[in-house]
């Protein structure tokens, strides 16, 4: 049955706001701090003010008129149980009573235009912001809307004007001890008090965490490091753990070997790349010749965003690892590789600060597409702690938009267990706080942790000790975790009280083999040790499930978690041993049921496919 009752109530019920411009003589001068770090974040040096005449592009995230509409809709289209709410024999007394009843929302993903309606700001918001910008002399020709009208973009704002608008002091910053490209940031900013209820965040302002920390450094056996990798962390695995897990092993273990994709004219996998870390089509062909002899004519499309560039003669670990493993799992499903610029990799001779915010530029690009790939995997992250709260919340909503559009958005949970280093909070209190990774901590994406099982596949899989996991300090526990997470916390008891946020979103959601995954770089065989390899395995399996659904005329899975935590559990291998030490502690332990080491467990393709039979 098809169902089209996607009309948006929110934009119709517009309660008039107070007219602030008449309530206050000078509302624009009454400013309040929006966010500040108080001091330059650790690991960053200031290089002072930018040259006179420097301009900056500002992005202003506007609050939606109906704050709950996007997430309510995301659940309706992603939760297989949501049909129960609309199965009804009583005729609803609304203006939408012409909508067919017995209609379900599960799988009824929205178009770009429908999502734009859901996230539309209140009409008064735009009026208010325009008079504020006008007051500061920002020409209307430099103002445009983006991200479906939920963000404003101010192009080419002189830094002096940006400072006045935002009560800011933009300066050039560079990561301590590097020659990286600089970034233009301010350690704090303010907005008129009347705008606080209308504006969620302004980008770029206080988001310092660099694309370096987006890197999930894969741990590799100490095979000779290519020159461009010299600064990366290399961990030599003890010889007793000489693990090597091939695509054939993984396809056998997760039961995808027998499945042959057929919906390859409609199904697509997207891979998010940053930092000019490209894949190589030559390395991919070599890899597939070894591991998937059936893969003739393998390739991928490339989308270059925000000056990202693409030089396949200089491939990187992340680019190759991801493309090689998603292809090994899901060939011949078409692939698109997004390379987004704006990271901080040094560009010799370039004295300009890095352009744009790489996360935001990528999301702007992909959300503008009429059709988004059904499966999207990105092996990069930041420490949640390094991000301004409102910035991570604004990005998280954009990932929710992707889910509402029908994409399964997959991230790695990190390679540092519960956190790298000693995890002492930088406030002088000496307090230890576990340090989870964003975007994994966003409840509207799927977070992938890591497992291993040695060389023989004789025993059950166990958690990989590097598997990132824990609880968000930015995002509360989502409804779909309301059973799984409290069960774990009850078992944990008071251990680690104060080290983590027991009310936070738990990560990961699912996991996969992460240790000893072969890939090829510059024609050399290497092994990856990290969740950077687990995420493309899960993405490949989800792409195969989407292929199956599309091939029988059904909608793709979209946002996975409500299904994974309900019917999907029947198709997941529970992982019940191992732990993820970090922050100077033993970390959490994998137990029966969900745990913040391996999530629900590892995918069983046949079992997961089985959970999709019998309902549509
Ligand atoms: C906001 O959206 C929700 C879910 O779509 C809807 O139930 C609610 O009525 C809307 N509220 C307003 C004030 O429009
Ligand atoms: C940065 O560049 C300068 C000058 O080229 C050089 O002396 C220095 O070693 C470089 N530092 C790093 C960390 O690469």
Residue 595 has pLDDT above 60, yes or no: yes
Q: What gap in Å lies between CA 136 and CA 131, rounded to an integer?
A: 9
Residue 231 in contact with ligand 2 by CB distance below 6 A: no
Q: What is the mean pLDDT of residues 31-55?
A: 92
Contact of 124 with 17, CB cutoff 8 Å: yes
When mean pLDDT is compared over 49-58, 121-130, 368-377, the highest value belongs to 368-377
**What integer best gives the mean pLDDT of the chain?**
86
Residue 178 in contact with ligand 2 by CB distance below 6 A: yes
In sequence order, the β-bridge partners of residue 56 are 157
State the ligand closest to the CA atom of 10.
1
pLDDT at res. 473: 97
Question: Sorting pLDDT into bands at 50, 70 and 90, what band is 355?
Answer: confident
pLDDT at res. 614: 63
DSSP character at residue 111: P
pLDDT at res. 352: 72
> Which has more pLDDT, 216 or 247?
247
- For the chain, the straight-line distance linking the first and the last C-alpha, in angstroms and rounded, comes to 9
Q: What is the whole-number distance in angstroms between the Cα of residue 180 and the centre of ligand 2?
A: 10
Angle 477-423-185 (CA atoms, 0-180°, nearest 5)? 85
Residue 164 has pLDDT above 90, yes or no: yes
Q: Is 522 left (phi over 0), alpha (psi -120 to 50) or beta?
A: left
Smallest CA-to-CA distance from 63 within 234, 164, 201, 256 is with 201
Each residue's pLDDT tens digit, 118-157 = 999 998 999 999 999 999 999 999 999 998 889 999 999 9
DSSP character at residue 200: E
pLDDT at res. 546: 98
Q: What is the mean pLDDT of residues 543-563?
A: 97
Least confident of 84-93, 160-169, 339-348, 546-555: 84-93
State the ligand closest to the CA atom of 346.
2
pLDDT at res. 103: 53
Residue 232 has pLDDT above 80, yes or no: no
Q: What is the mean pLDDT of residues 271-295?
A: 94
Each residue's pLDDT tens digit, 508-527 = 999 999 999 999 999 999 99
Residue 177 in contact with ligand 2 by CB distance below 6 A: yes
Q: Which residue from 6, 7, 10 has its CB within 8 A of the most atoms of ligand 1, so it is best to mutate?
A: 10
Atom of ligand 1 nearest to the CA of 67: 1
Question: Sorting pLDDT into bands at 50, 70 and 90, what band is 211?
Answer: low
Question: Sorting pLDDT into bands at 50, 70 and 90, what band is 245?
Answer: very high
Q: What gap in Å lies between CA 614 and CA 616, rounded to an integer?
A: 7
Residue 179 in contact with ligand 2 by CB distance below 6 A: yes
pLDDT at res. 228: 27
């Amino acid at each position: 049955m098809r169902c089209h009752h996607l009309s948006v109530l929110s934009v119709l019920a517009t309660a008039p706001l107070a007219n602030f411009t008449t309530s206050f003589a000078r509302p624009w001068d009454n400013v309040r701090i929006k966010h500040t770090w108080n001091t330059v974040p650790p690991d960053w040096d200031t290089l002072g003010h930018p040259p006179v005449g420097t301009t900056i592009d500002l992005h202003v995230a506007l609050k939606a008129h109906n704050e709950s509409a996007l997430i309510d809709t995301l659940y309706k289209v992603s939760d297989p149980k949501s049909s129960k709410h609309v199965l009804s024999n009583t005729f609803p007394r609304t203006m939408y009573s012409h909508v067919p009843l017995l209609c379900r929302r599960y799988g009824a993903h929205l178009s770009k235009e429908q999502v734009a309606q859901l996230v539309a700001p209140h009409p008064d918001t735009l009026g208010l912001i325009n008079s504020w910008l006008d007051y500061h002399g920002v020409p209307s020709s430099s103002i445009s809307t983006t991200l479906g009208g939920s963000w404003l973009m101010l192009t080419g704002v002189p830094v002096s004007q940006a400072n006045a608008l935002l009560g800011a002091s933009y300066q050039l910053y560079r990561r301590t001890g590097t020659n990286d490209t600089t970034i233009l940031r301010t350690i704090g900013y303010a907005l008129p008090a009347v705008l606080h209820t209308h504006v969620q965040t302004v980008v770029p302002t206080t988001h310092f965490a660099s694309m370096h920390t987006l890197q999930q450094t894969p741990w590799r056996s100490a095979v000779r490091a290519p020159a461009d990798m010299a600064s990366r962390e290399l961990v030599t695995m003890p010889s007793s753990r000489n693990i090597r897990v091939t695509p054939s092993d993984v396809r056998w273990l997760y039961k995808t070997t027998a499945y042959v994709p057929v919906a390859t004219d409609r199904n697509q996998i997207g891979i998010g790349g940053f930092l000019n870390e490209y894949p190589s089509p030559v390395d991919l062909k070599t890899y597939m010749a070894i591991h998937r002899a059936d893969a003739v004519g393998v390739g991928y499309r490339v989308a270059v965003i925000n000056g990202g560039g693409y030089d396949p003669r200089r491939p990187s670990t992340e680019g190759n690892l991801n493309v090689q493993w998603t292809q090994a799992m899901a060939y011949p499903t078409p692939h698109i590789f997004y390379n987004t610029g704006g990271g901080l990799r040094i560009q010799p001779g370039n004295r300009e600060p890095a352009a744009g915010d790489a996360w935001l530029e990528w999301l702007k690009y992909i959300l503008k597409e009429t059709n988004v790939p059904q499966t999207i995997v990105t092996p990069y992250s930041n420490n949640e702690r390094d991000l301004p709260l409102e910035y991570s919340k604004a990005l998280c909503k954009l990932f929710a938009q992707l889910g509402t559009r029908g994409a399964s958005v997959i991230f790695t949970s990190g390679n540092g267990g519960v956190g790298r280093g000693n995890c002492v909070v930088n406030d002088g209190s000496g307090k230890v706080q576990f340090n989870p990774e964003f975007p994994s901590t966003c409840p509207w994406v799927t977070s992938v942790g890591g497992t291993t099982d040695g060389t023989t596949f004789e025993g059950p899989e166990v958690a990989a000790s590097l598997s990132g996991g824990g609880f968000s300090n930015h995002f509360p526990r989502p409804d779909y975790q309301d059973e799984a997470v409290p069960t774990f916390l009850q078992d944990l008891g008071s251990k680690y009280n104060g080290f983590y946020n027991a009310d936070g979103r738990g990560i990961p959601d699912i996991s996969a083999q992460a240790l000893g995954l072969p890939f090829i770089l510059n024609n050399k065989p290497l092994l990856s040790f990290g969740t950077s390899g687990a995420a493309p395995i899960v993405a490949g399996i989800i792409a195969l499930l989407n292929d199956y659904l599309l091939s029988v005329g059904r909608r793709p899975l979209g946002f996975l978690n409500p299904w994974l935590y309900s019917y999907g559990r029947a198709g997941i291998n529970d992982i019940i041993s191992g732990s993820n030490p970090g922050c100077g502690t033993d970390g959490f332990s994998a137990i029966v049921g969900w745990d913040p080491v391996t999530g629900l467990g590892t995918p069983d393709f046949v079992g997961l496919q089985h959970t999709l039979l019998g309902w549509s």
